[in-house]
Amino acid sequence: MDFVDEVTLEVAAGDGGNGCIAFRREKFVPLGGPSGGDGGRGGSVILVAHDRLSTLLDLRFRKIVRAERGEDGRGKDQFGKAGQDIRIQVPVGTQVYDQESQALLADLSEAGAEMVIARGGRGGRGNIKFATPHDRAPRRATPGTPGERKQVRLVLKLLADVGIVGFPNVGKSTFIATVSRARPKVADYPFTTLVPNLGVVSLGVDRTFVIADIPGIIEGASEGAGLGLRFLKHVERTKVLLHMLSVDPDPERDAVADFDALMSELGRFDASLLERPMVVAVSKCDLPEAQEAYEAVRQALEPRGFQVFAISSATQEGLTPLLESLEAILRQPDDA
């Protein structure tokens, strides 16, 4: 399944039906008076957040969503039928922007949240509404008002408790596959992970949290390098950031330097990200060279206030202390 996290859509609500001009023509009812009914309201376009959706793929090829027009009023005091609303399901975490003004219209961050993105037009009034003691046979009615029509941009930002960030091939996908039921593609080449992967970590009854593997963040990501500019926005929703570091066979690469580079990219994208709780994990610590790297990282980053863990997804060494530390941070009050 393709991961689609941004689409542009034209939405058009239904126009209101026109009011009717009519008079009663029944036998034995002389001067029956006006009987033209009102037009029905137009249907609205409504977005609904659904927790079982994870992508905007269903809307990728829909260029326009149009709701039903309200029926015109009829004689014999008959009002027109209202147009049917269109309800579009989107993933939880979808933001709605006006394409013209770029203003944020809605943030559907909870399952079941709804937003009327385009409101249907009001139905026109029939001549039955214009009857007065001074004008008992009005010959006027009003047309229905047009429904709203606009271009909107839907942007999905994943909702996760923990976001894993790190350079390509540091073991992020293997880690999330080990600690959850997520099954991302794992291979020994850069940019194996092309889309974010979500997994649910369970440490026992009522001890679960959602973890996300954010792909493609490299040096220069905030300026469009790699895939980072596309996926950095998903980091904004996470409560805790887990920096994944690893030993690189290139002697010119350094784990602490990689950490500083990632921090720089996060700060350039959104300075508030640097204030998020962060934990550091050095992966692949079943390898002898990784043990040496872990000590170097720990000595460099612990004085800066970061917790540093040595882990191995292959042997599951160190995973439980790391996950329990993440859970403890998530359980802290927001104002702590």
What are the structural domain ranges in the chain? 1-156, 162-331
Residue 254 has pLDDT above 50, yes or no: yes
Fold: same for 1-156 and 162-331: no
Q: What is the mean pLDDT of the chain?
A: 82
Region of residue 203 (phi > 0: left; psi between -120 and 50: alpha; otherwise: beta) = alpha
Torsion of CA 20, 22, 26, 31, to 10 degrees: 140
pLDDT of residue 158: 72
Superfamily of domain covering 162-331: P-loop containing nucleotide triphosphate hydrolases (3.40.50.300)
The string of pLDDT tens digits covering residues 263-302 is 888 888 888 888 889 999 888 888 777 777 788 888 999 9
Place of tokens 């770029």: 102
pLDDT of residue 93: 85
pTM of this structure: 0.68
Least confident of 38-42, 174-178, 185-189: 185-189
Please tell me the distance from the alpha carbon of residue 57 to that of residue 197, in angstroms, as a whole number.
16
Write out the E strands in the chain: 6-12, 45-50, 64-66, 86-91, 94-98, 104-108, 114-118, 149-156, 162-165, 197-202, 208-213, 240-245, 278-282, 307-310
1-156 folds as Spo0b-associated Gtp-binding Protein; Chain: A, (2.70.210)
Residue 47 has pLDDT above 90, yes or no: yes
